[in-house]
Amino acid sequence: MPKDYVCVFCASSPGVNPEYAQKATGLMGQVASAVEQNHGDVLGVMVNSLSKLENRGDQIGQVILVPDMHTRKKTMNAKESGYGTMEELLEMTTWSQINIHAKPIILLNVCGFFDPLIRWINHASQEGFIAPGNTKIMVTCNSVDEALAALQTYSPPSSRYTHLEWTTEAANSVV
């Protein structure tokens, strides 16, 4: 399925392990640079109040400034959504579960960073809080090549609540 955009949520800091930045999971700037170097278009969505803190003068691509985090997520969802920080990751996963979108959600699990989350999801499923099929909404990949392949082959699990219908207006206004 061709994609117009891939939305990447990740930390604005590099973390302590240099491999995160090497794999472009620890820095928004690393991801933007890699996309630009590979002739892709970069579109950033930044909250006005954070732009002063995070803007280091090395802007890559186009940036849309928005008033708050809810508008940021809404804008990213409208542009083709993904996930990243825990809250955003889980919200995008929930949106997929309740059929607001059926877009791929890929975890690039550098150095096992997401292993505790994956264990928690499996535990929650074993305890009956997450339908077993819905544990497949997120696809875990251990390399960039795996992640790129998963983007091309992703199929949302049939256990999602596909009977729920959302209008475009409703889907874009969910916060």
Q: Which two tokens stand for residue 123?
A: 């535990």
What is the pLDDT of the chain when averaged over all its residues? Answer: 77
CA distance 163 to 99: 8
CATH number (domain holding residue 124): 3.40.50.450
Q: Does residue 86 lie within any of the structural domains?
A: yes
Instruction: Inform me whether the pLDDT recorded for 139 exceeds 90.
Output: yes
Q: How confident is the model at residue 30 (pLDDT cuts 50, 70, 90)?
A: confident
E strands, 21-161, are 43-47, 62-66, 105-108, 138-141
Asked if 51 and 65 count as a contact pair (C-beta separation under 8 A), the reply is yes
Q: Does residue 8 lie within any of the structural domains?
A: no
- Which residues sit opposite 106 in a β-bridge? 139
Instruction: Inform me whether the pLDDT recorded for 25 exceeds 50.
Output: yes
CA distance 70 to 92: 12
Q: Give residue 113's domain range.
A: 18-173
Number of domains forming the structure of the chain: 1
Question: What CA–CA distances, in Å, run from 63 to 36, 45, 130, 132, 150?
Answer: 14, 6, 36, 38, 27
CA distance 30 to 13: 10
Q: Does residue 7 lie within any of the structural domains?
A: no
Q: Does residue 6 lie within any of the structural domains?
A: no
CA distance 95 to 175: 10
Tens digit of pLDDT for each residue in 81-111?
Answer: 444 467 778 888 888 898 888 888 888 888 8
